[in-house]
Structure 1
């Protein structure tokens, strides 16, 4: 099922020709209208009019989140403020907020691209979509909202939080598609169980989840507990918000909307392209954004491309779901560890719950990783000998698959914090 079949199934030569044409226009425009890029290009003696291939983009400098912060609020806008019809912003909790803008045409494109993602996941105009993302300056809520309306679906803009009310609305309004973070979907499943509600009695059929890394095992857990088909979608405020990429019904990689975004997968250390299929950092250049075009933005998100054609018929390249972030990656005793790796291991172990916390500390100049994991009541109240055997089994699995030893601490069900938004599962107490 396609929203814009002709565009989503373009032959690769035509798609790459379109990308080059749009890239040339974007580079020339930012060199003319955005002082930041004009100065950058001048410093490196780059002529934005001399781009003859997509490979030529590699000569141009990266854009970093810090660049956005340093040009707060409107320094990177490429059109006058009077032509900006929407402004969104990050929360700014880790520094100066990043501000992005949209022209009227940007909003139209955004709505269409999100409609593509929804349609690819199986959602139609007949569906009732409950959006449990936060609204306000966060792009997730409004992005999915406008895409759903563009699709013609009925939208319930309930926003995040108040889980019992979410479930009541889901029952009463016959919600068929849920939009939220995967963490929050599992929290909803927990609350449904507490309320004695059988998810099979709901009208829910689809779940469109994003905004945080999650594993294939977590997808299966959500599918089983809510009785839905969960798909992943990807976006980030600095580029557009949701709509950059999303899974089709094959649920095997996220199709990137390549007619609007040019992507590179680079080694985060050398900043050189990785080999096909290897994991690297996602770098994105916008091709059609008018108000806030961005050149070679380092997302810090880690993924890999899936080069094989997709059975769905779309020609847009697919990327693996996010494996973590290059700047959130844990380095324990010299070994790179991602929370999603640990999550996958725990999901495979019968008796563990889909909630965990990673505590990183440094003792005697040595890193120590403790995995706090919820377990079902029966295991927690087992004899001490059985508990120790269970812990030892988890430790062996971790050591075998991660390549390092970890400490494991069992905790009772419902004792670890639940999250309405992105799950913050890592506590790093090291003083480096």
Structure 2
């Protein structure tokens, strides 16, 4: 007897497995069109290109683009916003009815940057692809944690696929509701699942005796975001039967997420053109070398970011991935502005995270690097600890942390311990400023 059920394929969209030759041709053509469009329609892009003495007609190839196209920074957008009283920062084209909202970046590394949104953004496309890769299909449920209340008003892609979202705020107070929804609706995935929520779930399971394996048994994966994923969180969530897929921003152009190979963030190259440049000289660096990520939107007609310097330090790999995708992926090493040199040794917050989380009292991984200057004679750390989990004295914990970190980092070290609740007051619930002057 024939079935009328609709079969949804598990294969990738053909563009995700296109040949490198095809992707290169596609990007070259798209760059020329986007440059013409952005200069004609986005006030800030027009100004930046005019100041650089470059015209869209000068861009006839990828080589021309790399050589001639001027860079754009967050500071450019903020300055234009303030000078022209333009909430979109000069990045929303003059197209009445297209801008349905203006969101912002998180503001963790500075003043939040305006991000105009239209009815279906490029980030929506990448969001849908990422969930599809995890295994979400029409008729499924997804738990969506509102990422500091940014984005929940415009998550259209999953609903258009016939997927129901159950929305929560990122708050420990929501955990009983999330557990109830997980057992009642048996969602297929979750997004976003950050460090603080993982730690709060751990405390909830310890206090209530609820079985995490049963709570998460329907999940094919959860998208983790906000900060780098530590080894402790990986092991903890694996013990719950939950696979995490780390995600990050692709320079405010779109999103980028791990696949099941967990070997880097996939940058969808039909949506964005990515480069890596030396953060000081802005000269191109080769794939595999460390450089600052630069992103150009190939599809966004509302906010056409062109040669946008993200401030993220990455290494890019354009070889085919084991998941079947041919698009580039990159490994995120940290923010260029977060780098500190101590006695000539380069240190980034990601390196400290793997050391702080190993102690039970500091398992929440809450710490700050105190950096008065980019180059310093000693590493100064402020570390938050859970006073209720203190095994011995504060001085004993400080000594244990000092011994572990100093041996691994091998630079002069100064530690300050504070109640972790004090650090949580410094930022949104998914992350705190990791580098501060005081």
Residue of structure 2 equivalent to 1:14: 22
Q: How does 1:317-332 map to 2 (within 5 A)?
A: 317-320=328-331, 322-332=332-342
State the distance in 2 between where 1:149 and 1:116 align: 13
Contact 1:133-1:181 within 8 A present in 2 as well = no
Contact 1:380-1:410 within 8 A present in 2 as well = no
1:148 counterpart (145, 158, 177): 158
- Structure 1 residues 83, 412: closer, same or farther in 2, change over 3 A? closer
State the distance in 2 between where 1:97 and 1:395 align: 32
Contact 1:371-1:409 within 8 A present in 2 as well = yes
Q: Say which is worse superposed, 225-234 or 86-95, in terms of deviation.
A: 86-95
Is 1:277–2:288 an aligned residue pair?
yes
Residue of structure 2 equivalent to 1:29: 37
State the distance in 2 between where 1:158 and 1:367 align: 42
Q: 1:267-324 CA distances to partner (integer Å, 9 max, x unpaired)?
A: 111111223212221111001111110111111122211344211111101111x322
Unmatched tracts of structure 2, length 5 or more: 1-8
Q: 1:341-393 CA distances to partner (integer Å, 9 max, x unpaired)?
A: 11123456788624332352769x85441353648989722898x86874454
1:235 counterpart (249, 252, 273): 249
Is 1:191–2:200 an aligned residue pair?
no
Q: 1:166-185 CA distances to partner (integer Å, 9 max, x unpaired)?
A: 33433443334221242123
State the distance in 2 between where 1:13 and 1:93 align: 38
1:187 CA displacement = 2.5
State the distance in 2 between where 1:407 and 1:427 align: 15
Contact 1:374-1:416 within 8 A present in 2 as well = no
- Structure 1 residues 124, 397: closer, same or farther in 2, change over 3 A? farther
**TM-score after normalising by structure 2:** 0.82
Q: Say which is worse superposed, 22-31 or 230-239, in terms of deviation.
A: 230-239
State the distance in 2 between where 1:421 and 1:223 align: 19
Q: How does 1:267-306 map to 2 (within 5 A)?
A: 267-306=278-317
Q: Say which is worse superposed, 181-190 or 216-225, in terms of deviation.
A: 216-225
2:327 counterpart (316, 329, 334): 316
1:60 counterpart (56, 69, 73): 69
1:2 CA displacement = 5.5
Unmatched tracts of structure 1, length 5 or more: none
1:409 CA displacement = 6.0
Contact 1:265-1:283 within 8 A present in 2 as well = yes
Q: 1:187-246 CA distances to partner (integer Å, 9 max, x unpaired)?
A: 322233223222112135221012x33145155134235420000122268424xxx321
**TM-score after normalising by structure 1:** 0.83
State the distance in 2 between where 1:310 and 1:42 align: 40
1:40 counterpart (38, 43, 48): 48
Contact 2:137-2:163 within 8 A present in 1 as well = yes
1:148 CA displacement = 2.7
Structure 1 residue matching 2:169: 3-state secondary structure: coil
Q: How does 1:13-412 map to 2 (within 5 A)?
A: 13-58=21-66, 59-69=68-78, 70-71=80-81, 72-74=86-88, 75-90=90-105, 97-104=112-119, 106-107=120-121, 109-125=122-138, 127-134=140-147, 136=149, 138-139=150-151, 141-142=152-153, 145-161=155-171, 162-164=173-175, 165-183=177-195, 184-204=197-217, 205=219, 206-210=221-225, 212-235=226-249, 238-240=252-254, 244-320=255-331, 322-347=332-357, 353-360=363-370, 367-370=378-381, 372=383, 374=385, 380-381=391-392, 390-391=400-401, 393-398=403-408, 402-408=409-415
1:31 CA displacement = 2.0
Contact 1:355-1:416 within 8 A present in 2 as well = no
Structure 2 residue matching 1:303: 3-state secondary structure: strand
Q: Say which is worse superposed, 172-181 or 8-17, in terms of deviation.
A: 172-181
Q: 1:23-69 CA distances to partner (integer Å, 9 max, x unpaired)?
A: 11111112222333233323333221232221222211111112222
1:95 CA displacement = 6.8
Number of aligned residue pairs: give it: 415
Structure 1 residue matching 2:39: 3-state secondary structure: helix
- Structure 1 residues 41, 391: closer, same or farther in 2, change over 3 A? closer
**Aligned alpha-carbon RMSD (Å):** 3.4
State the distance in 1 between where 2:96 and 2:432 align: 36
State the distance in 1 between where 2:75 and 2:428 align: 27
